């Protein structure tokens, strides 16, 4: 939990600073890609606020209305991030790039002495200012900030991968229950990709004099944001609906129960996440018929300890004795 929080705080600081830089870059240049990147960084900043709220709620103690705690609040707020903020940022970027492409005009930035209009803001860049070099400076600065935030997120994810013996990021993306770190890692990755796309668009515009490349880069950033929004929403949905542990991990836990002394058969075995790294295990177990209640209780306690040795995320174990 502490690792996830430090990742989110690092991303919050980085994205807040980058959003301000990019917006001033847009005011000085009028670049479509720069405005798309501003939307992107604003959404990322809002994302971190939602993730911090989720972390805060998940720390609340169990109560009568939530007997298993508030761990799933992180799944909910991560889902909001993926759908609400990511979707809005992607749509706004896509819409702005499309409107720039279809509206014609002289280029991605204003002429000397021409005002840049944004909502109620009107700003006229100084005539001596080179718009493209402003964009290059802002985007390269943003690249440094985002690289730092990505480093923090990758460090935490690598720690989880090593702890769980996951083979790579694809397996981690599919199996992790830490949606907060997953969301931050995804955000930082696509933020760097967005910066690269914006830089390429600006460079091609500079070399060809054609604003088409700047505007297409805004479109691509929007499409990328919306695509990752769908992927993140899907990953959060599985946990909100009560997904079990991966099959190989669940089979390992079931085998521990089945092979334990005094167990005749495991009639039912289920696992479910109810928070990041918090697992509930239930099962119907048939014990040897000559065991009395005290002996069965002792064996159930031993089984619980054995399960937690294999997976320290197991928070609750409920085993019910059955008769064959």
Which strand ranges, in their side-by-side order, compose the sheet holding 263-275? 263-275, 278-287, 314-322
Alpha-carbon span 218 to 213, nearest angstrom: 9
Residue 258: alpha-carbon gap to chain centroid: 37
**CB neighbours (10 Å) of residue 22?**
28
DSSP string computed for 19-40: HHHHHHHHHHH--HHHHHHHHH
What is the per-residue pLDDT for 106? Answer: 47
The pair of structure tokens assigned to 152 is 């923090």
**Residue of 105, 63, 35, 58 lying closest to 275 (CA atoms):** 58
207-233 pLDDT per residue, tens: 888 878 878 888 888 888 888 888 888
What is the per-residue pLDDT for 123? Answer: 60
Mean pLDDT of 43-66: 84
- pLDDT at residue 116 greater than cutoff 70: no
CB-based burial label for 113 (10 Å; 0-12, 13-18, 19+): exposed
87-106 pLDDT per residue, tens: 777 887 788 778 877 775 54
Please check whether residue 320 is in contact with residue 297, taking contact to mean a CB–CB distance below 8 angstroms.
no
Three-state secondary structure of 176-219:
CCCHHHHHHHHHHHHHHHHHHHHHHHHHHHHHHCCCHHHHHHHH
**CB neighbours (10 Å) of residue 324?**
8
* CA dist 19 → 40, 42, 112, 179 (Å): 8, 6, 25, 24
Alpha-carbon span 10 to 229, nearest angstrom: 21
Mean pLDDT of the chain: 82
What is the per-residue pLDDT for 283? Answer: 94
226-276 pLDDT per residue, tens: 888 888 888 888 888 888 888 888 999 999 999 999 999 999 999 999 888
- pLDDT at residue 125 greater than cutoff 50: yes
Please check whether residue 74 is in contact with residue 54, taking contact to mean a CB–CB distance below 8 angstroms.
yes
Domains (range + CATH), the chain: 2-240 (1.20.1510.10), 247-322 (3.30.70.1350)
Please check whether residue 276 is in contact with residue 59, taking contact to mean a CB–CB distance below 8 angstroms.
no
Helix or strand holding residue 256 (H, E): helix 247-258
**CB neighbours (10 Å) of residue 193?**
16
Alpha-carbon span 281 to 5, nearest angstrom: 27
**Residue 161 — very low, low, confident or very high, per pLDDT cuts 50/70/90?**
confident
């Amino acid at each position: 939990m502490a690792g996830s929080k430090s990742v989110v705080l690092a991303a919050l600081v980085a994205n807040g600073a980058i959003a301000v830089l990019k917006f001033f870059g847009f005011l000085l240049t009028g670049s479509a890609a720069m405005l798309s990147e501003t939307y992107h960084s604003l959404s990322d900043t809002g994302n971190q606020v939602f993730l911090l709220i989720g972390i805060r709620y998940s720390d609340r103690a169990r109560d009568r209305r939530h007997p298993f705690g508030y761990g799933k609040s992180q799944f909910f707020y991560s889902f909001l991030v993926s759908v609400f903020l990511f979707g809005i940022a992607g749509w706004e970027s896509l819409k702005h790039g499309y409107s720039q492409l279809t509206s014609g005009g002289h280029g991605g930035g204003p002429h000397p002495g021409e005002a840049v209009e944004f909502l109620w803001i009107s700003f006229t860049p100084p005539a001596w200012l080179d718009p493209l070099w402003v964009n290059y400076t802002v985007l390269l600065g943003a690249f440094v900030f985002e690289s730092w935030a990505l480093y923090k997120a990758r460090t935490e994810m690598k720690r989880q991968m090593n702890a769980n013996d996951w083979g790579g990021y694809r397996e981690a993306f599919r199996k992790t229950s830490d949606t907060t770190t997953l969301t931050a890692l995804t955000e930082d990755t696509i933020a760097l990709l967005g910066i690269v796309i914006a830089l390429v668009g600006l460079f091609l515009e500079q070399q060809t004099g054609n604003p088409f490349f700047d505007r297409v880069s805004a479109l691509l950033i929007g499409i990328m944001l919306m695509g990752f929004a769908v992927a993140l929403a899907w990953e959060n949905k599985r946990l909100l609906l009560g997904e079990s542990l991966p099959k190989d991990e669940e089979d390992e836990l079931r085998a521990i129960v089945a092979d334990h002394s005094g167990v005749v058969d495991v009639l039912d075995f289920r696992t479910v996440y109810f928070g990041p790294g918090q697992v509930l295990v239930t099962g119907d177990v048939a014990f040897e018929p000559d065991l009395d209640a005290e002996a069965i209780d002792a064996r159930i306690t031993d089984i619980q300890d054995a399960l937690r040795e294999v997976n320290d995320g197991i928070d609750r174990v409920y085993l019910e004795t059955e008769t064959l």
